[in-house]
Amino acid sequence: MSVGTMLMQLGKGMISTTEIFFLTLLFSLPLGLFVSFGRMSKNGLLRGISKFYISIMRGTPLMLQLLVVYFAPYYLFGLNLRGYRFPAIILAFSINYAAYFAEIYRGGIESMPVGQYEAARVLGYNKLQTFVKIILPQVIKRIMPSITNETITLVKDTSLAFVLAHAEMFTLAKQIAAKETSMAPLMAAGVFYYIFNFIVAFSMERIEKALNYYR
């Protein structure tokens, strides 16, 4: 197999990897925020459910969660799994990363001084306005390094999609390497991952600098 052909095949896998990455962030970031609200709720039942959810997601392997999310509809309800493979991957990744993002959000929100809320109340802001206009922008700035770490981890975790026989980049690299009895496809995949992570880290750093109003 020529180098050009190999790179073209890996490029197709990279598109799939990128899709998993961006769709996971699209769903897990807002879901994590809502879970963090549940985790901090004064309602004991809601708080307990949120804590249990986070405990399960963080305490079990993502690989196992992928299998459960994919096969559960069949074993529980006898549903046909045709066309469900990619949605199952996105669902499993999203609910897994939402648990981690929820704890990051919670740490950021709880680190805010009580005086911020009291000052907002004096200025006539209601709870929603206080959170959206005053608290959330500061929280986002504080949690950006942690969000960046999780985002970089997500790039590498996309390779776990192989569990459901989804042909993302690393899976294709392994198949080509086995067929050609060469390490070159795996090395090329490593370069792809490094470049992807470099772009992600650079982009997040730019966002963090843009939020650095102390400069």
Query: 205: domain CATH number?
Result: 1.10.3720.10
- Give a yes or no: residue 31 inside a domain: yes
Q: pTM of this prediction?
A: 0.89
**How many domains are there within the chain?**
1
- Give a yes or no: residue 192 inside a domain: yes
Q: Is the pLDDT of residue 162 over 90?
A: no
Spatial CA neighbour of 108 closest among 148, 130, 136:
136
DSSP 131: I
Q: Is the pLDDT of residue 27 over 90?
A: yes
- Give a yes or no: residue 140 inside a domain: yes
Average pLDDT, the chain: 88
- Give a yes or no: residue 78 inside a domain: yes
Residue given tokens 């998993």 in the structure block = 20
Three-state secondary structure along 144-189? HHHHHHHHHHHHHHHHHHHHHCCCCHHHHHHHHHHHHCCCHHHHHH
What are the pLDDT digits (tens) for 77-118?
888 888 889 999 999 999 999 999 999 999 998 888 888 888
Q: Is the pLDDT of residue 39 over 80?
A: yes
In the three-class reduction of DSSP (H, G, I as helix; E, B as strand; rest coil), residue 1 is classed as coil
Judged by average pLDDT, the poorest of 10-24, 28-42, 170-184 is 170-184
Residues in the chain: 215
CA dist 136 and 59 (Å) reads 28
Spatial CA neighbour of 96 closest among 161, 188, 42, 46:
161
Range of the domain at 142: 3-210
